[in-house]
A and B are shown apart, each in its own frame.
Chain A
Amino acid sequence: MSNLLTASIGRKLLMSVSGLFLILFLFVHLILNSFLLLDGCMGFETGQLFNAGVHFMGTNPLIKIIEPTLALGFVVHIVYSLILTLQNMKARGQQAYASGKKTTGVEWASLNMLPLGIAILAFLIVHIFNFYLKMKGYIAWEGGEVEFPFFGSMATGENAYALVNEAFQSLPLVLLYVVGSVALAFHLAHGFWSAFHTIGWNNPIWMPRLRVISNVVAIILGGGFTVIALAQYLFF
Chain B
Amino acid sequence: MEKLINLTLKVWRQNGSKAKGRFETYKVNNVSTGSSFLEMLDMLNEQLVNEDKVPVAFDHDCREGICGTCSLYINGRPHGPDDDVTTCQLHMRKFTDGQTITIEPWRSTAFPVIYDLMVDRRAFDKIISAGGYVSVNTGGVPDANAIPIAKADADEAMDSASCIGCGACVAACKNGSAMLFVSAKVSQLAMLPQGRIEASRRAKAMVAKMDELGFGNCTNTGACEVECPKNISLSNIARLNREFLYAKFQD
Contact = CB atoms under 8 A, between A and B. Distances in A.
B211 to A, nearest CB: 5
A33 B172 CA distance: 42
Contact of A106 (B74, B208, B215, B223): B223
B238 interface: yes
A106 B207 contact: no
Which of the four size classes fits the interface of chain B? 35 or more
Which of the four size classes fits the interface of chain A? 35 or more
B226 A1 contact: no
A87 B174 contact: no
Contacts of B227: 103
B239 A202 contact: yes
Contact of B216 (A87, A200, A204): A87
A25 interface: no
Interface in A96-125: 96-107, 110-111, 113
B22 to A, nearest CB: 11
Contact of B238 (A84, A91, A201): A201
A59 interface: no
A4 B109 contact: no
A170 interface: no
Contacts of B222: 105-107, 110
A197 B238 contact: yes
Contact of B239 (A102, A194, A200): A200
18 contacts: A7-B208, A9-B207, A9-B240, A84-B217, A84-B219, A92-B173, A92-B174, A92-B175, A97-B76, A97-B107, A98-B102, A102-B76, A103-B76, A197-B234, A197-B241, A199-B242, A202-B236, A207-B238
Interface of A: 1-2, 4, 7-13, 84, 87-88, 90-93, 95-107, 110-111, 113, 190, 193-194, 197-202, 204, 207
